[in-house]
């Protein structure tokens, strides 16, 4: 029998002391607090560090080392937390469509969750970078749903579901998925590719994102962007290792002290820019 893991350090991390019951209110609060607290980042594959997806390792990475992660790390842990609370969940896999040409078939490299609460189904996804859902949305087609960080909707075409978000009055497809259940071995195979293949975006580029009360912070290589909930977007280039590391620590709240080889990778980014 798999050893049950204490989730109290996670609850302390996201500052949740509410009721632990499989209700939509609990799901909403856990999802919101998770995305406000744990950043999205790829420092491990970017610096060739080991990527482990077991719950104990993920919990330690987030709560002890002050790190974030990408979709598999976020959603595998979040799925475990939800199931310990009593939710019925299904892990799903998606093909990313954001910034992918229409004629390109992308692999299923993104993880999301289908969750049951209060007699309805909900899409939960705590790990889609700068456009991640900050709260769950109802699994209902063609319904515009407001979240604290923008509007989303689900559409369906020939049995394929799509998550879309509104960007400057236009709808953009983030990813496409079906309802085939996926399990840890499925995610481990995809994670190996995403974290190790020399052509993987997470191996070749630096990515970080954090949702905050005032808006979204996004870092891609040496370009920092801030998307406020109201007002004009801000962008600026970063020109030094210290500037990037300071941003990672102070704006994205990522613990970088134990990230071996980070300076060399950042130097390479700056030289190539």
Domain residue ranges of the chain, discontinuous segments joined by +: 198-272
Q: What are phi and psi of 59, to 5 degrees?
A: -60, -40
CA–CA distance, 262 with 256 (Å, rounded to integer): 8
Active site residue 110: yes
Integer Cα distance of 129 and 208 in angstroms: 7
**Mean pLDDT on 243-259:** 97
Catalytic one of 31, 34, 74, 110: 110
Q: Which residues contact 54 (CB under 8 A, 6 or more apart)?
A: none
Give the pLDDT score at 273: 81
Closest of 93, 94, 123, 110 to residue 28, by C-alpha:
123
Tell me the C-alpha distance between 80 and 15, whole Å. 18
125 given a catalytic annotation: yes
As a whole number of angstroms, the distance between CA 23 and CA 118 comes to 6
* Helix or strand run (H / E) with residue 101: none
pLDDT tens column, 81-100: 999 999 999 999 999 999 88
State the burial class of residue 40 (Cβ atoms within 10 Å of its Cβ: 0-12, 13-18, 19+).
Answer: buried
Tens of pLDDT, residue by residue over 102-155, are 888 989 999 999 999 999 999 999 999 999 999 999 999 999 999 999 999 999
Choose the catalytic residue: 71, 74, 149, 217. 71
pLDDT tens for residues 19-37?
999 999 999 999 999 999 9
Question: Once rounded to an integer, what is the mean pLDDT over residues 151-180?
Answer: 95
Catalytic residue among 31, 34, 74, 125: 125
Is 71 an active-site residue? yes
pTM above 0.75, yes or no: yes
CA nearest 134: which of 222, 31, 16, 219? 31
pLDDT band for position 1 (50/70/90)?
A: very low
pLDDT of 226 > 90? The answer is yes
Q: Return the CATH architecture of domain 198-272.
A: 2-Layer Sandwich (3.30)
Q: Say what the pLDDT of residue 130 is.
A: 94
Phi and psi angles of residue 226, each rounded to the nearest 5 degrees, phi first? -125, 125
Please say if the pLDDT value at position 2 is more than 70.
no
Question: What is the model's pLDDT at position 120?
Answer: 98
């Amino acid at each position: 029998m798999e050893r049950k893991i204490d989730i109290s350090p996670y609850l302390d991390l996201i500052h949740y002391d509410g009721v632990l019951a499989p209700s939509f209110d609990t799901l909403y609060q856990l999802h919101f607090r998770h995305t406000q607290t744990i950043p999205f980042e790829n420092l491990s594959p970017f610096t060739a560090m080991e990527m482990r997806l077991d719950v104990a390792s993920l919990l330690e990475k987030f709560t002890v080392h002050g790190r974030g992660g990408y979709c598999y790390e976020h959603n595998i842990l979040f799925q475990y937390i939800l199931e310990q609370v009593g939710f019925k969940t299904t892990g799903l896999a998606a093909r990313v469509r954001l910034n992918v040409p229409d004629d390109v078939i992308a692999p299923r490299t993104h993880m999301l969750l289908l969750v049951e609460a209060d007699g309805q189904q909900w899409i939960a996804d705590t790990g889609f970078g700068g456009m991640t859902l900050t709260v769950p949305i109802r699994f209902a087609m063609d319904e515009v749903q407001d979240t604290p960080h923008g509007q989303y909707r689900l559409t369906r075409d020939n049995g394929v579901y799509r998550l879309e978000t509104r960007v400057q009055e236009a709808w953009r497809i983030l990813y496409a998925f079906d309802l085939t259940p996926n399990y840890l071995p499925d995610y481990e195979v995809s994670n190996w590719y995403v974290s190790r293949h020399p052509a993987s975006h997470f191996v070749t580029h630096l990515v970080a994102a954090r949702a905050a009360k005032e808006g979204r912070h996004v870092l891609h290589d040496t370009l920092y962007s801030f998307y406020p909930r109201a007002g004009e977007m801000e962008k600026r280039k970063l020109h030094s290792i210290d500037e990037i590391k300071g941003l990672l620590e102070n704006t994205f709240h990522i613990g970088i002290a134990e990230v071996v080889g980070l300076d060399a990778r950042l130097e390479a980014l700056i030289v190539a820019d």
